[in-house]
Amino acid sequence: MKQEILDSIDYCPHITFKEFHGIDATLGGGGHTYELLKKYQNLKILGLDQDPHARIASSINLKEFQNRIVIDACNFGEYLPSHKVSFIIADLGVNSNQIDNPERGFSIQKDGPLDMRMNPSLEMTAEKLINKISEKDLADLIYQYGDERLSRKIARKIKKEIKERGNFSGTKDLAYTIAGCFPPKQRYRKIHPATRTFQALRIAVNQEIDVLQKLLDNASNWLLPGGIISIISFHSIEDRLVKNHFKNDIRFKPINKKPITPSASELIANKRSRSAKLRIGQLN
């Protein structure tokens, strides 16, 4: 899908030589930006990321392009542009640092605290969330953001465990409890049975749907006429928001009517991309 993002720049209006030509709204480790800066020798990009660990990683990975990249500590939902740009890219997935570092609390396989904050300065953690909200609200959250059919059973089990023995010791403890809600045959599949619930908690902790809606609402104020916005989503709610925005907002037209999904080679190289969907829109 990186190739399609590279190709989408060809739809952009003539790139004006202002301070920045484009914005990577979810810089992460800098993978997409690296490919763009490598291909387009005069390109200048502003990279946004609320995660301090991601900003450190990207500054190292993009060191050879340091004169053409500026990294800003910012949640893209709160960004206020100083001028308009030719393109925006946003990859809504969790970056490798967040998943691979157990201390961040995103991992099911590696034990860590029930955190899940992309921005460590946020007050709400996954642990605080499951303690704060009611069983019904927890079940609704797991169903809405995780597409989990066993959401009621899982929420009931989580609340029961907290009441009987206190807070969960960490991510593996919570994952084990969630797995116990599934029939034995479903507990040992390739995808862990707690995956959907963890996804739902992460989305809620970081208010990811609200932040995406802000990006879509503000994109026309970021872009030059004819500008391109490319968004990779990993959840049906995210994809539906993007699809409907490009379809219903008369200021935009979709470049691809159907979402672009990973190729076979991409899936081999990165199994985490299996649910990724890329949609590209152009400002009229």
- Kindly state the DSSP code that residue 97 receives in the 8-state scheme: H
Strands 223-233, 85-91: pairing is parallel
pLDDT bracket for residue 139 (50, 70, 90)? very high
pLDDT tens string 244-276? 999 999 999 999 889 999 888 877 777 777 889
Domain formed by 2-97+208-283, architecture: 3-Layer(aba) Sandwich (3.40)
pLDDT of the residue at 11? 64
pLDDT of the residue at 262? 86
Which residue's structure tokens are 């190292």?
Answer: 60
Flag whether pLDDT at 239 surpasses 50: yes
pLDDT tens string 178-197? 999 999 877 777 789 999 99
pLDDT bracket for residue 161 (50, 70, 90)? very high
Report the percentage of the chain scoring pLDDT > 90: 74
Strands (E), 35-154: 45-49, 69-73, 85-91
Strands 277-283, 223-233: pairing is antiparallel
Flag whether pLDDT at 19 surpasses 60: no
Write down the domain spans for the chain: 2-97+208-283, 123-205
Structure tokens at 161: 């465990």
Rounded to an integer, the average pLDDT of 11-28 is 72
Backbone angles phi, psi at 223, to 5 degrees: -100, 150
Flag whether pLDDT at 228 surpasses 50: yes
Structure tokens at 255: 């470049």
Rounded to an integer, the average pLDDT of 230-254 is 93
Give dist(CA 95, CA 107) in Å, integer. Answer: 12
Q: Do 2-97+208-283 and 123-205 come out as alike in CATH topology?
A: no
pLDDT bracket for residue 14 (50, 70, 90)? low
pLDDT tens string 36-52? 999 888 889 999 999 99
pLDDT of the residue at 1? 67
Closest CA to 254 of 244, 264, 267: 244
Flag whether pLDDT at 69 surpasses 90: yes
Domain formed by 123-205, architecture: Orthogonal Bundle (1.10)
